[in-house]
């Protein structure tokens, strides 16, 4: 595919900037600029680097844009080309992970204690118990697994074990990439703690409050820097991060940079889900390159039946089998029959009725969260923008909503940028309702601690209507029912990871709207991101060249 088809104006501007500062001219400069534009475009698509051949290496060495200086714009490492910034993030993260992996702890004679927390079961092997055994002795541990495999239950038991074995109570922090994911983790921990086989004093030292990673690190917008870094590390002895597949290369590097010396890190996540929106596929790279520090939980305790079978078929790239499961239309998996907009509008009828009846916010939010339309694409036919516009129009025609301008009672919105000052973050869902006393429109948000935050619409950070959202944005969420809406034509976004992520958002029912050809082609398409992180972790030292 030509660069004209894949590169943006920003990519070309970056390329011209580098070309103008190179030692090349004529055809060589044009070739360098084409390479630089391709690098910029690939980084925007999630790759941290690109592969280059011998001819490109010779061109780069002649350009004068490579050097040992940290100010050099480009870095060539073996056959991988980076911008300086992404090479630094990757190099720094690899160094930090290696340092953590080298740190071990003594667990003493903890066999009886572990057996109390993980009683003998019929599972062979007991993956949850194995994860606990690793977490007691390793400073760095990854616990991965699909929905319902008990990642949160396992980590709560691990926290109890660590507190029971510690000479003094450990200072623990819990975090997730988004507010939604933080709320889910907080709810799960609160539900799991009472059942721990330990004294109340130990339970009291297991925190329930979960925050976003940006809030934990102390975001300082509009700067890309955080209050906590290597010079001002976090005060915690142990950090637990959920939904780690959503964390991009830059944020993971900054998170590891902020760990205090001797601290432990436990990552939770599903390695088969979508990688981060920004550059990198960090969790997948880490699980692939660090098997001794990774445990995959393989038994699902609540995710069974047709939804599990569909997710597994998609994950194994068995397109025909996955389509047949949908075509059979069971009680939990089906193809959508009928008009798309009519169906989606009908799902929100009860939600809008509750608002009209004056139901309290949490009850209204619970009904809204029962169903969610998830789209593969943001723009184009059958996209988020298309469906949100058409559903809003249909609800207005039916008299279910009375929009007078942008804001109206019942408008659901998703925050699309982080605002640390307001404690609102990208992905937070709010509902526009009338204040019971004044009648004034306000947007209501459920906070991770169970409280409710209200904001005047005019004070909100950038946000968008969310009768439908992208599958990317749904990560960290669960709904009783989901409708997956795929684009009419295959495109690079449609991958088996995207479908798997969308399917596993549903608790009880998945419907899909797609043609057979597009669905099967999407199952056969896998996310492939160029990265040097695995190589850096597996090699003792890999110098730039």
SS3 content of the chain, % helix, strand, coil (to 5): 45, 15, 40
Closest CA to 470 of 544, 407, 369, 386: 386
Q: Are 258 and 217 in contact (CB under 8 A)?
A: yes
Residues annotated within a binding site for ATP: 145-152
Looking only at the bridges linking them, the beta strands covering 429-434 and 506-513 are unpaired
What secondary structure does DSSP assign to 376-424, as a single string? Answer: S-SSSTTSHHHHHHHHHHHHHHTTS---SSS--TT-EEEE-S-BGGGTB
Alpha carbons 10 and 198: distance in angstroms, whole number? 57
> Which residues are documented as binding site?
145-152
- Paired tokens of 134: 């690793």
Nearest 5°: CA angle at 240, between 236 and 243? 145
Q: Let me know if 200 is exposed, middle or buried by CB neighbors in 10 A (0-12, 13-18, 19+).
A: exposed
Edge-to-edge strand ranges of the sheet holding 441-446: 452-455, 441-446, 429-434, 412-415, 463-465
In the block, tokens 């894949």 appear at 6
| 268 Rama sector, left if φ>0, alpha if ψ -120 to 50, beta otherwise | beta
Tokens representing 514?
A: 């797609």
CA–CA separation, 296 vs 515, rounded Å? 33
Measured in degrees and rounded to the nearest 5, phi and psi for residue 22 equal -90, 170
What the block records as the tokens of 140 is: 């760095």
Sign of CA pseudo-dihedral 328, 330, 334, 337: positive
């Amino acid at each position: 595919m030509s660069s004209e088809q894949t590169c943006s104006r920003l990519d070309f501007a970056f390329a011209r900037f580098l070309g103008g500062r190179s030692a090349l001219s004529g055809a060589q400069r044009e070739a360098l600029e084409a390479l630089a534009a391709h690098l910029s475009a690939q980084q925007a698509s999630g790759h941290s680097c690109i592969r280059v051949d011998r001819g490109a290496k010779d061109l780069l060495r002649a350009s004068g844009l490579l050097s040992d200086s940290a100010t050099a714009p480009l870095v060539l490492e073996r056959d991988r080309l980076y911008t300086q910034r992404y090479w630094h993030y990757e190099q720094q993260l690899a160094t930090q992970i290696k340092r953590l992996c080298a740190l071990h702890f003594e667990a003493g004679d903890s066999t009886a204690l572990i057996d109390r927390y993980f009683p003998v079961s019929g599972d062979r092997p007991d993956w949850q118990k194995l994860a606990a055994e690793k977490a007691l002795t390793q400073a760095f541990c990854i616990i991965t697994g699909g929905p319902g495999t008990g990642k949160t239950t396992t980590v709560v038991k691990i926290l109890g074990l660590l507190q029971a074995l510690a000479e003094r109570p450990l200072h623990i922090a819990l975090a997730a990439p988004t507010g939604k994911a933080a709320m889910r983790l907080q709810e799960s921990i609160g539900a799991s703690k009472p059942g721990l086989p330990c004294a109340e004093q130990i339970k009291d030292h297991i925190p329930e409050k979960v925050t976003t990673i940006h809030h934990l690190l102390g975001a300082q917008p509009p700067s890309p820097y955080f209050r906590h870094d290597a010079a001002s590390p976090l005060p915690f002895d142990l950090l637990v991060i959920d939904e780690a597949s959503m964390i991009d290369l830059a944020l993971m590097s900054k998170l590891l940079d902020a760990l205090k010396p001797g601290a432990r890190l436990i990552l939770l996540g599903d390695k088969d889900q979508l990688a981060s929106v920004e550059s990198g596929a960090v969790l997948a790279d880490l699980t692939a390159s660090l098997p001794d520090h990774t445990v995959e939980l393989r038994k699902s305790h609540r995710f069974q039946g047709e939804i599990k079978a569909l997710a597994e078929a998609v994950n194994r790239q068995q397109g025909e089998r996955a389509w047949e499961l949908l075509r059979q239309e069971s009680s939990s998996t089906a193809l959508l029959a009928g008009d798309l907009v009519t169906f989606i509008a009908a799902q929100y009828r009860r939600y809008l009725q509750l608002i009209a009846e004056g139901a309290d916010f949490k009850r209204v939010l619970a009904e809204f969260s029962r169903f969610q339309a998830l789209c593969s694409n943001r723009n184009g036919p059958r996209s988020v923008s298309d469906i949100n516009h058409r559903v809003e129009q249909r609800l207005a025609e039916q008299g279910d909503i009375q929009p007078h301008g942008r804001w109206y009672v019942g408008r659901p919105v998703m925050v699309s940028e982080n605002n640390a000052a307001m404690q609102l973050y990208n992905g937070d869902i709010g509902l526009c309702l009338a204040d019971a006393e004044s009648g004034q429109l306000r947007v209501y948000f459920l906070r991770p601690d169970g409280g409710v935050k209200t904001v005047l619409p005019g004070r909100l950070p950038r946000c968008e209507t969310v009768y439908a959202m992208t599958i990317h944005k749904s990560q960290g969420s669960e709904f009783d029912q989901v409708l997956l809406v795929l684009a009419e034509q295959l495109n690079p976004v449609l991958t088996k990871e995207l479908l798997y992520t969308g399917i596993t958002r549903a608790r009880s029912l998945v419907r899909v709207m797609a043609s057979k050809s597009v669905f099967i082609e999407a199952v056969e398409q896998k996310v492939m991101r160029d990265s040097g992180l695995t190589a850096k972790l597996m090699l003792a030292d890999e110098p730039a060249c």
